């Protein structure tokens, strides 16, 4: 009996080609263990199902014979397997080798490189500065504002919402050495864990300084809840985008405390509150104590998106922004936002738990974390947007600001 083929990795990105001259299915590695991108031609897409961990090379060969109508498919079979294997897209020793090598490299690096420069935003410093000057402007918020929530979607999908969020920031007073606590969504992180790093964040603007003393304090007080030098930082955009905007507004050496918030999966699916997990509660306490002590020396920035609806996200719905069923989604989004701006963390989380977060708010955990750390703030929604990310899928997001004195 032939040995089973290795399974195709479940944590890859699959997207149809948008180029009619190059049809097929693109496969990429969002973890960047491999920088390869494969384009699988339409006739061969079906053959990928043979890489499920149960079928063998004999099954793959039979499927290729069926697809091509040819008997001699050995060369095609070898090419398909070798391409997936060399790219690190199969769950086998090659993938594990690439994964271990890249994660070990990240641990030793002193800087976290801006991996989305040149794709999500310009790599050239002057082009980036000119773009953000035109799109964002200058901070013009009131001094009582102590936090904002901004999207982490591709800037081209949400410039108006980014502008609404970042213009709500107050101008920094002369001599104010403020740390920006950035609570970002960890799209790839472990549930009920918080990803931390001591690395400085390098962007086209320069080096943003990570407040390592606060990182050390959090690790000492809530170590079990924290994944230090979490590799997710290497590939995550939810903090990188916020760093770039903050550098543009306040200078390249802005001081940050970057925190990736993993999903509170157990609470969503099994009930109870996130802090019923002792490690999560310990992290909330530790960051809350820092917040109480530091006061206005901290400013809070949340990198969060909201609903993810449509075919891309596994829904039968062909989602259209601001039309049809997406109008009902907006109302449900706004119900959650009302609880956030009211500071009612329990009511907000109850809405997230309803339907096991069928809205798929990827910013649910950073928002809840913030509400637990900074209770009794007065929030305000300053912009809401639905972005048509592809013809059948929509992402919603908003800009919020929070003030003392509620």
pLDDT in tens, 221-278: 998 999 999 999 999 999 999 999 999 999 999 999 999 999 999 999 999 999 999 9
DSSP conformation class of 33:
S
Please indicate, yes or no, whether residues 185 and 312 belong to a single structural domain of this protein.
yes
Please indicate, yes or no, whether residues 67 and 178 belong to a single structural domain of this protein.
no
- Any domain includes 202: yes
What is the C-alpha to C-alpha distance for residues 230 and 189, in angstroms, rounded to an integer? 8
Please indicate, yes or no, whether residues 337 and 197 belong to a single structural domain of this protein.
yes
- Any domain includes 7: no
CB-CB contact of 150 with 301 (8 Å)? yes
- The β-bridge relationship of strands 200-203 and 145-150 is unpaired
pLDDT at 171: 86
Residue 133: burial class (beta carbons within 10 Å; 0-12, 13-18, 19+): exposed
- Any domain includes 5: no
The parent domain of residue 390 ranges over 111-403
Please indicate, yes or no, whether residues 162 and 39 belong to a single structural domain of this protein.
no
pLDDT at 174: 47
In the listed set 104, 124, 141, which residue is the last one of a domain according to the structure? Answer: 104
Residue in 180, 160, 137, 184 with CA at minimum distance from that of residue 382: 160
The contacts of residue 377 (CB under 8 Å, 6+ apart) are 146, 147, 343, 402, 403, 404, 406
Residue in 291, 299, 294, 288 with CA at minimum distance from that of residue 173: 299
Please indicate, yes or no, whether residues 204 and 61 belong to a single structural domain of this protein.
no
In the listed set 104, 130, 154, which residue is the last one of a domain according to the structure? Answer: 104
Please indicate, yes or no, whether residues 73 and 134 belong to a single structural domain of this protein.
no
- Any domain includes 289: yes
Please indicate, yes or no, whether residues 96 and 115 belong to a single structural domain of this protein.
no
In total, how many domains does the chain have?
2
Please give the structure tokens belonging to residue 383: 């912009």
Low-confidence ranges of the chain (pLDDT < 70): 1, 173-176, 405-406
Strand, coil or helix: 268: helix
CATH of the domain at 332: 3.40.830.10
The contacts of residue 278 (CB under 8 Å, 6+ apart) are none
Please provide residue 281's backbone torsions phi and psi, each rounded to the nearest 5 degrees. Answer: -60, -40
pLDDT at 173: 67
């Amino acid at each position: 009996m032939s040995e089973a083929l290795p399974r195709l990795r479940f944590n890859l990105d699959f997207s149809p080609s948008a180029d009619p001259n190059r049809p097929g299915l693109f496969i990429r590695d969002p973890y960047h263990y491999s920088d390869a991108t494969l384009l699988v031609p339409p006739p061969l897409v079906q053959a990928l199902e043979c890489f499920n961990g149960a079928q063998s090379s004999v099954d793959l060969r039979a499927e290729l014979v069926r697809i091509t109508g040819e008997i001699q498919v050995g060369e095609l079979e070898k090419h398909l397997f070798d391409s997936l294997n060399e790219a690190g897209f199969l769950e086998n020793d090659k993938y594990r080798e690439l994964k271990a090598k890249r994660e070990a490299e990240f641990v030793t690096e002193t800087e976290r490189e801006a991996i989305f420069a040149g794709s999500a935003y310009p790599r050239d410093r002057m082009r980036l500065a000119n773009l953000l000057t035109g799109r964002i402007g200058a901070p013009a918020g009131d001094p009582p504002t102590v936090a904002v929530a901004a999207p982490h979607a591709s800037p081209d999908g949400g410039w108006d919402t980014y502008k609404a969020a970042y213009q709500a920031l107050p101008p920094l007073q002369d001599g104010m050495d403020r740390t920006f606590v950035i609570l970002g969504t960890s799209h790839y992180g472990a549930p009920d864990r918080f990803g931390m790093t001591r690395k400085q964040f390098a962007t086209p603007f320069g080096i943003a300084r990570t407040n390592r003393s606060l990182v050390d304090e959090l690790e000492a007080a809530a170590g079990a809840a924290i994944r230090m030098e979490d590799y997710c930082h290497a590939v995550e955009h939810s903090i990188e985008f916020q760093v770039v905007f903050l550098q543009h507004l306040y200078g390249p050496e802005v001081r940050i405390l970057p925190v990736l918030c993993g999903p509170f999966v157990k609470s969503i699916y099994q009930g109870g509150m996130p802090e019923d997990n002792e490690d999560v509660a310990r992290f909330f306490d530790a960051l809350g104590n820092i917040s109480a002590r530091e006061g206005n020396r901290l400013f809070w920035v949340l990198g969060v998106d909201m609903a993810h609806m449509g075919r891309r996200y596994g829904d039968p719905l062909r989602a259209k922004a601001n039309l049809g069923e997406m109008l009902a989604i907006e109302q449900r989004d706004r119900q959650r936002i009302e609880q956030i701006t009211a500071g009612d963390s329990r009511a907000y989380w109850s809405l997230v738990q309803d339907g096991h977060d069928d809205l798929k708010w990827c910013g649910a955990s950073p928002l809840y974390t913030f509400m637990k750390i900074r209770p009794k703030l007065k929030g305000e929604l300053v912009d809401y947007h639905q972005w048509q990310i592809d013809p059948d899928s929509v992402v919603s997001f908003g800009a919020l600001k929070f003030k003392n004195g509620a």
